[in-house]
């Protein structure tokens, strides 16, 4: 795959030791070098904010971003680095919104969001609405991975029509997350749902799969169409 068509990756877990992604600086630097070899020029890494497991805040994320930037400069790795967050939409995020605390954004008002991939959230629509009322545009990470929405196409359309943007995990198109995920991704590609593509890279195994990714026709068409907004970030 020609990753120069994407340019900016806007979903990864490269800050060392603060979630289930890279465990240390050495691993982060090695993965970023490989991103550069693939053709990426900018990485917006997005550690989890999932309060039961990863109690990250803007301060903890910025601290680790600064440390990573310094290490990249020391090792002479030329990669533009930024950080936002992947917000698990739960009571903690509702509390942040009620307190009017500023969320970390990909750019401007764009906030990367997720729900459980195992169990459907009963409060999903309400939280997304509250985010929009607070002035944010939710970007739903890997909607194809919510396999419990399999063939519930009307629900996908409703979410999109309500102003939520969709982000494709590139590895979803390979079947790496299962055939149902792959089938949902294919449908969303055909219906032109996606505004962003991301790697959601956590570890070397993901990188190895990215290095050999075979791009289906619909994804190639999307990447060359100019409709993907990664370059605007």
Average pLDDT for consecutive 10-residue bins of the chain (233 residues)? 96 98 98 98 98 95 98 98 97 96 98 94 92 98 96 96 98 91 97 98 97 93 94 97
Model pLDDT, residue 151 = 95
CA distances from 13 to 43, 102, 226, 227 (A): 10, 21, 26, 25
Model pLDDT, residue 4 = 95
Number of domains in the chain: 1
Q: Is the pTM of this model over 0.95?
A: yes
Instruction: Enumerate the β-bridge partners of residue 197.
Output: 168
Model pLDDT, residue 175 = 86
Model pLDDT, residue 68 = 98
CA–CA gap between residue 172 and residue 142 (Å, rounded): 8
Distance of CA 190 to the CA centre of its chain: 20
Contact 11, 167 (CB under 8 A): yes
Instruction: Give 8: exposed, middle or buried? Use CB within 10 Å, 0-12, 13-18, 19+.
Output: buried
CATH number of the domain where residue 45 is located: 3.20.20.140
Instruction: Give, for 68, the enclosing helix (H) or strand (E).
Output: helix 58-74
Model pLDDT, residue 122 = 85
CA–CA gap between residue 102 and residue 59 (Å, rounded): 12
CA-nearest of 62, 27, 57 to 45 is: 62
CA–CA gap between residue 139 and residue 209 (Å, rounded): 24
CA-nearest of 206, 207, 208, 160 to 187 is: 160
CA distances from 151 to 157, 165, 201 (A): 11, 19, 26
Q: Which structural domain range is residue 32 located in?
A: 3-232
Q: Which pair of tokens denotes residue 3?
A: 């990753």
Model pLDDT, residue 97 = 97
């Amino acid at each position: 795959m020609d990753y120069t068509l994407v340019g900016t990756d806007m979903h990864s877990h490269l800050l060392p030791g603060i979630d289930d992604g890279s465990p240390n600086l050495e691993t982060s630097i090695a993965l970023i070098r490989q991103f550069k070899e693939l053709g990426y020029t900018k990485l917006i890494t997005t550690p989890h904010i999932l309060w039961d497991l990863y109690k990250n805040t803007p301060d903890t994320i910025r601290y680790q971003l600064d440390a990573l930037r310094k290490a990249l400069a020391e090792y002479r790795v030329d990669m533009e680095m930024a950080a936002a967050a992947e917000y698990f939409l739960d009571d903690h995020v509702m509390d942040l919104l009620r307190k009017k605390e500023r969320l970390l954004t990909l750019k401007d008002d764009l906030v990367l969001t997720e729900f459980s991939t195992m169990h459907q959230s009963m409060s999903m629509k309400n939280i997304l609405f509250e985010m929009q009322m607070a002035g944010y545009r939710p970007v739903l990470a890997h909607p194809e991975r919510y396999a419990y929405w399999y063939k519930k196409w009307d629900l996908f359309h409703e979410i999109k029509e309500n102003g939520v943007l969709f982000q494709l995990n590139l590895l979803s198109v390979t079947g790496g997350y299962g055939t149902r995920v792959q089938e949902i991704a294919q449908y969303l590609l055909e219906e032109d749902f996606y505004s962003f593509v991301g790697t959601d890279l956590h570890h070397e195994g993901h990188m190895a799969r990215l290095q050999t990714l075979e791009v289906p026709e619909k994804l190639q068409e999307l990447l060359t169409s100019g409709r993907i907004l990664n370059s605007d970030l």
